[in-house]
Amino acid sequence: MVDNELKIELGKQGILVTTIEELYNWGRRSSVWPMQFGLACCAIEMIATTMARYDLARFGAEVFRPSPRQADLMIVSGTVTKKMAPQVVRLYNQMAEPKYVIAMGACAISGGPFKQGYNVLKGIDRYIPVDVHIPGCPPRPEALIQAFMTLQKKIDGQPLTGEGRPRFLDADAQCEFPVPEQGAHDLEPPSNQGVWPVEIQGVGSRERRDIDGRQVSTDH
């Protein structure tokens, strides 16, 4: 392994030293294509982010793909209702790995201002794992850009082997998540315990899984 300072020094001399991992992640992070998928008000700010003033293209993410098969990133931009939630999970399942999720806005995180609604899902992370949350109602375009950079940092930091490697390099990792059913009164189940391990105070701790679906220690 070349030490970092030496690498920078060599770079100044015009010599490029890199690792497969760096090169690979550099490629992945520089062309994250989001899915063209807007849910509510936040989607308008998402569109504004791609327009001339904020210009998301600077981050290699201007190509919004209408098809989930061609997208790497799902920006859940807006309120997920219970009528829509199964479709969101289905779309997520249809995306090819590697795939990432940004929950944009208060609604996608927790239901936001509409939390008390009977038809509002109280946070998309009840059904699918989320990589970056952006608070705000709606988050400003700058906040979305910040989330994007956070995601790029995360991609940059993923090792290709060993612990913490991305899901698509891990044969055991779960890539598809169960789609909830629309029942007579509510979604069934109301949350996917695999990704939404709710701690209930006073009740013994339960099995927890981390974002990639692996089991983590259960005592707290």
Partner 1 sequence: MSVAETRTERSAGWNRPPAVEPEGEGELLEVAMGPHHPSTHGVFRMDVSLDGERVVRLKPVFGYLHRNHEKIAEGVAYLASMPYTDRLDYFCSLTNNWAYALAVEKLAGQEVPARAEYIRVILAELTRIQNHASTIGFLLQEMGASGTPLMYAFREREKILDLFESLTGSRMMCNYMRFGGCRVDLSSAWIEATKKVVAGLPAFVDEFEALLTGNEILMARCQGVGVLKPDLAVNAGISGPMLRASGVNYDLRKVDHYGIYDRFQFRVPLGDHGDIYDRYMVRVLEMRESIGILNQALQDIPLGPIMDAKAKLRGFRPKPGEAYGRIEAPKGELGFYLISDGGPNPYRYRVRPPSLINLTVLEDMCLGHNVADVVLIFGSVDIVLGEVDR
Partner 2 sequence: MKTVEEIKAAIEAAVPGAGVTVVLNPSPSAQHSLRLEPAHALAVAAFLRDDPELAFDYLSNVTGVDWLDKEIAEKVKVTRQVTKTVDGPEGTKLEQVVDEIVEETRKHVEPGSLEAVYHLYSVALRHGPLVLRMRTVNRTDKVELPSLTPVWRAAELQEREVFDLYGIVFTGHPDLRRILMWDEFKDYPMRKDYVEPDDYEYEPTAHDAVLKRAQEHRSREQGSRD
Which residues are at the interface with partner 1 (CB under 8 A)? Answer: 36-41, 43-45, 47-48, 51-53, 66, 68, 78-79, 81, 83-84, 87, 91, 113-114, 116-120, 137-138, 140
Residue 82: Cβ within 10 Å count: 18
Residue 188 β-bridge partners: 181
Asked if residue 184 binds partner 2 (CB under 8 A), the reply is yes
Residue 161: CB minimum distance to partner 1, A: 35
Q: Is the dihedral of CA 159, 160, 163, 165 positive or negative?
A: positive
Name the token pair of 13. Answer: 């001399």
Is 6 within 8 Å of 60 (Cβ atoms)?
A: no
Residue 44: CB minimum distance to ligand SF4, A: 8
**Block residue for tokens 């992070």:** 29
Choose from partner 1, partner 2, ligand SF4, none: what does 106 bind? Cβ within 5-8 Å by kind: ligand SF4
Nearer to ligand SF4, 23 or 137 (CB): 137
Nearer to partner 1, 38 or 129 (CB): 38
Report the alpha-carbon distance of residue 66 to residue 37 in Å, rounded: 7
* Burial call 93-129: b when 16+ CB within 10 Å, e when fewer: eebeebbbbbbbbbbbbbbbebeeeeebbbbbbbbbb
Residue 39: CB minimum distance to ligand SF4, A: 7
Residue 211: CB minimum distance to partner 1, A: 24
Site for partner 2 in 108-167 (CB under 8 A): 110, 115-116, 118-119, 122
Could you list the residues that contact partner 2 (CB under 8 A)?
A: 82-83, 110, 115-116, 118-119, 122, 182-186, 190-191, 198-203
